[in-house]
Amino acid sequence: MFSYLGIDTSNYTTSAALYSSADNYIRQQRRLLPVKDGTLGLRQSDAVFSHVNQLGGLVEQLFTDTPGPPLAAVGVSVRPRDAQGSYMPCFLVGELAAGCIAAAAGVPLHRFSHQAGHIMAALYGADKLELAEKPFLALHISGGTTDCMMVRPHKEKVLEVEPLSTSLDLKAGQAVDRVGGMLGLGFPAGPKLDQLARQSEARFSAKPAFKGDDCCLSGVQNLCSKLKAQGAPDADVAMLCIDYIGKAVDGMTRRALEKHPGLPVLYCGGVMSNTIIRRRMQQKYGGHFAPPELSSDNGCGAALLAYYKEVQP
């Protein structure tokens, strides 16, 4: 019986998690990075500083809350995606801490992408870990990512991620936060925008443009701004934003399934916690979703990837 530590220092969340292989159970500690009121994000230097301040306390709390089995390996997110040139300074904080812990404990250190961690955490949260052993489709919809991917098992990476389509301009989470900022919802705006949109009964015909399999989301901000200027209720403005993004997710899913029919579809990323989009994708495609705490940024995926890296033949 062993435990596996996962660390993820993304652009907006400091997180650490322990996966116990004995009972397939995950414990985690995480904290959002502080963002000043009225702003829509963080500079990387500020994100790095906040991670340095937060990570040590979270890891300490994780290990002292409920002492578990001995540590077998450490997994950490070190880049946004498994792609050439994919890099963000904030991940260096997690990599440094993970390396020190692994060296002190005398256990292996495994490096993964933030995106692979999202996918693995969503598989666990959806109770679909068996999908990691065969090809499936995954959509990662968040503040920095609007991607549709083919995912296959891989001996070295655990999961091999092949991009199929993306947003060519604004990312879904960016659109949510910009419209949320317009409505005075604060940052991050996702949960409040979801709650507000559910109060609307409005229906909209506007939909995102597609160039091949890739979508374009930049138009939604202007549409929402125009609707608000016309005096529409804030709930309708929120619904327009969510509806527009939902149509983009729908279009990316449909195009992927046309080329890869019959594959399971997994949705992950903070935007996929939205109840409206989630309901639509479940009804239309039977998609698999994780609960919100495993859809948004977390260290659970890195812990699970470390486990699979250690136990796979």
pLDDT at 131: 96
Q: List, for residues 144-181, the tens digit of each pLDDT value.
A: 899 999 999 998 899 999 999 999 999 999 999 999 99
pLDDT at 222: 96
Q: List, for residues 107-145, the tens digit of each pLDDT value.
A: 999 999 999 999 999 999 999 999 999 999 999 999 889
pTM of the model: 0.93
Structure tokens at 6: 């996962």
pLDDT at 198: 97
Q: List, for residues 263-313, the tens digit of each pLDDT value.
A: 999 999 999 999 999 999 999 999 999 998 899 999 999 999 999 999 986
Set out the domains of the chain in order of their start, with CATH numbers: 3-126+293-311 (3.30.420.40), 172-289 (3.30.420.40)
pLDDT at 41: 75
